[in-house]
A and B are shown apart, each in its own frame.
Chain A
Amino acid sequence: MSRPELTGHASLFYNEKEARKYDSSSRMIGVQREITERAVELLRLDDSKPSLVLDIGCGSGLSGQVLEERGHVWLGCDVSRDMLTVAKEHEEDTKVLQSTGDLMHHDMGSGLPFRPATFDACISISALQWLCYSNSAAQNPRKRLTRFFSSLYTVLKRGGRAVLQFYPETAEQAVLISETATKVGFAGGVVVDYPNSAKAKKHYLVLSFDRSLAPRRGALGTAEQDQKQQHVTVGEALGSNKGKKQPPRKKKGIKTKEWILHKKDAQRTKGKDVRPDTKYTARRRRGKF
């Protein structure tokens, strides 16, 4: 499947038709639900008391349903108006249950419009990768990512966690995203589920304020340093020693004593006439004068 991110802005891709399709596809619902449950598991929320959770890119509210079932209060934001309309209809359908969620129309790339330290947790399902693409000259992916993460840092309560599931197109995108998150001060990293399967593979960026695990050396360094570091880890992961310079190997003489003895032995087994091995075998000649 081609990537919808390449076709234009999210609010244009998720138009009314696409939003309905998305919401009525049972496969999509199943996948989204599974991802959300995994993300909530990674959030490690206390299910005994309600928490306030921010859902970024809530779409038609599928992820909100999972949070609701666990008794949390959520606030969803999405850039696609049509998706929100579908979500609103859902809310009206399930009036018996009385939804604990609320919706707002917002673009995460322009920063989150909330009071500081508001949310206990933040969740985002299949949305973050949209920030890596720019749809106009004024949009700079790096800038938008930084703006998003720094505002997320402010609106999250200290001790809160954020789990953001995303589909990176390339490894560089995953690096760019996690690098930006680290730069604004977050601790944490990327969890990859089913890394061996191309289809089921899922990336979760787990962010927290918890620095009990010391950040990897160079994680807070300059971009250049970071890239170097990344390069080495990638190289090692592939089982090669690219990037790491090995000391130049000392050129070994080809015709060593062992080699000559081995060769003579081989000739002998073939039945050829070979001079016997003596103390003179493979001895260097006296230098010429």
Chain B
Amino acid sequence: MRILTHNYLQSNVKGTEKGYPLLIEPNRVVVEESPVNLSMLQTLLPKLDYSAIVQAARQLATYEDANEAFTVPDLPDLLPETLDDLFLTALYKFLFDLHVIEGHLVCPDTGRKFPIKEGVPNMILHEDEL
């Protein structure tokens, strides 16, 4: 699961108020380099929730200490007004190249855990959770 996907996901469990953003509890994270496509990022950027990206970066940074395989960019709290290529490249790499392979997504309101297995988050809810 990419961090980009995490930005769109929201919990729909019964009893949630907002269910967004989901907390990430990573167990295994992999970096897959891909060619940086800044124009693609720029068209997607207005629809992204920047504060959720920052929050995801913080959560992955705590995991980073245990494993040196990847680096989380140091993102400012607010989206800078002028976007230089350096910042965009770092953001692109964070959103597209990092893959959470194993771990959990946790609903911030109810604490319901959604498991991530082999890079695929499982968002299936049981009938009584709807």
Contacts and interface: CB of A to CB of B under 8 A. Distances in A.
B118 A88 contact: yes
B71 interface: no
B121 A104 contact: yes
A113 B12 contact: yes
Contacts of B2: 102
Interface residues of B, number: 31
Contacts of B34: 98
A105 B120 contact: yes
A79 B4 CA distance: 21
Contact of B123 (A49, A100, A113, A117): A113
Interface stretch (B42-50, B73-81, B83-91): B42-50
B10 interface: yes
Contact of A104 (B12, B19, B120, B125): B120
A104 B1 contact: yes
Interface string B28-70: 0000101100011001100101000000000000000000000
A115 B10 contact: yes
A103 B123 CA distance: 11
B110 interface: no
A189 interface: no
A105 B121 contact: yes
Nearest to B11: A113
Interface in B1-39: 1-2, 4-5, 7-12, 19-20, 32, 34-35, 39
A16 interface: no
Given A77-B123, A115-B20, A147-B130, 9 more contacts: A52-B44, A73-B44, A75-B8, A85-B118, A103-B119, A104-B5, A110-B124, A112-B12, A118-B47
24 contacts: A73-B4, A77-B123, A84-B120, A85-B118, A88-B119, A102-B4, A103-B119, A103-B120, A104-B9, A104-B120, A104-B121, A106-B123, A107-B125, A110-B12, A110-B124, A111-B12, A113-B11, A113-B19, A114-B10, A115-B7, A136-B127, A138-B127, A139-B127, A151-B12
A283 interface: no
Interface of A: 49-50, 52, 71, 73, 75, 77, 79, 81, 84-85, 88, 95, 98, 100, 102-107, 110-115, 117-118, 136, 138-139, 147, 151, 157
Contacts of A88: 118-120
Q: Which 6 A-B pairs have the closest CB atoms?
A: A98-B34, A105-B122, A138-B127, A102-B5, A106-B123, A113-B123
A146 B34 CA distance: 39
A110 B44 CA distance: 27
B5 A50 contact: no
Contacts of A104: 1, 5, 9, 120-123
Given A105-B122, A105-B124, A106-B124, A75 B20 contact: no
Contacts of A118: 8, 47
**Which one of B7, B19, B47 has the highest number of Cβ atoms from chain A below 10 Å of its Cβ?**
B47
Given A73-B40, A102-B5, A115-B20, A110 B121 contact: no
Given A104-B5, A113-B12, A49 B124 contact: no
Contacts of B124: 79, 105-107, 110
A271 B17 CA distance: 97
Contacts of B8: 75, 114-115, 118
Nearest to A87: B120
A114 B123 CA distance: 10
B71 to A, nearest CB: 20
Contacts of A157: 47
B121 to A, nearest CB: 5
